[in-house]
Structure 1
């Protein structure tokens, strides 16, 4: 009992949480299979390290505010032949994050832009990078409220500090002058110091309309595109595909067309 108490005290002192759950099982296994002391200790420590890493990933994933959990393995590349799978797999190595480069995913709604950005975010978290996800609409709202509350400097840090900032759905709503100015500040502060993954349903030529100022849009694009990768996705919406499968869309027959 004295040894048990000393072990529990030592485990508690070290802050271990997985070892207390497995130590007796591994001790019995070691005795039954004549496992060496070093192998027994190695098994315990490896389990503790894995548990610590899993907790870290869960915490970082929660702090990233991802809209859902979707991986590259869940992405249907066969449905979007315009996407070069090898290029996406190469991006998943996260070299572009290590080099503070940006990734812009362009295409119509529903083609998988957000799915890809979330999948890359999960890979980044696994590799120890910090990530923050926001939609363009939420980003603008957050900054406008912070501006009114005189807390804009603190709030800007939320978007400037992470290794990877994901801004989803640029182009669905036009920004006013103040919002466009803050957006430019974020892009400028992150220039060559952090990566941005950005999704948009608008081509670069239409960004002057988004920001209400062609000169400002050019300045934003100049910084975004200097060190960047652009993926143009062309194809049908996944959501429409699923609706078709469920029978919500009826294909016109020849008779329908001639009536």
Structure 2
């Protein structure tokens, strides 16, 4: 869904950047360590739509929540963000390891946003289940936050 929305934005003439949360955080952490954080923040703030995929799938490095907050603040009311996650927004305090920063991030992300909750298996798991490779015992849910 995130890729499809990104493609439609490109077709409509908007600049779009797609990245995974892990790649984005790694770049911000490295840029911060190298004294190039401002340049990286400008890079991620530039496109009209920034798609951040898979937030919450892996634990974040210490300090990553603050760097992510800086990016969200930089883009707030200036550019659209689409964030996919396998964690409900109520769990983002755990995702970021800091409930106060998570609340500040969510405050900005959820303002002017639409949250789309998808329940059930992904198309990949559905295909595996159909082939008998996975037992039909768990339900997965994903959330996508679209702010713009």
- TM-score, with length taken from structure 2: 0.86
State whether residues 9 and 15 of structure 2, in contact with CA within 8 Å, keep that contact through their aligned partners in structure 1.
yes
Question: How many angstroms does 1:133 deviate by?
Answer: 0.7
Residue 120 of structure 2: aligned partner: 235
Which string of whole-angstrom CA distances, capped at 9 and with x for unpartnered residues, describes residues 50-104 of structure 1? xxxxxxxxxxxxxxxxxxxxxxxxxxxxxxxxxxxxxxxxxxxxxxxxxxxxxxx
Residue of structure 1 in register with 2:28 after alignment: 143
Q: Which has the larger radius of gyration?
A: 1
Matched, 1:194 2:88: no
Distance 2:129 2:93 in 1: 35
Deviation at 1:236, TM superposition (A): 1.9
> In structure 2, how many angstroms separate the alpha carbons of the residues matched to 1:211 and 1:247?
36
- From the two aligned structures, give the one with the greater helix fraction: 1
Match of residue 60 from structure 2: 175
Q: Give 1:122 shift.
A: 0.5
Q: Check whether the contact 1:133–1:165 (CA below 8 A) recurs between aligned residues.
A: yes
Task: Specify every segment of 5 or more residues in structure 2 that has no aligned partner in the other structure, as ranges.
Answer: 137-148
3-state SS, counterpart of residue 145 of structure 1: helix
TM-score by length of 1: 0.50
2:131 to 246, 249, 256: 246
Shift, 1:250, TM fit: 6.8
Instruction: Supply the distance in 2 between the matched residues of 1:249 and 1:210 (Cα, whole angstroms).
Output: 27
- List runs of 5+ in structure 1 lacking aligned partners: 1-115, 252-259
Once superposed, which parts of structure 1, at least 4 consecutive aligned residues long, lie more than 4 Å away?
Answer: none
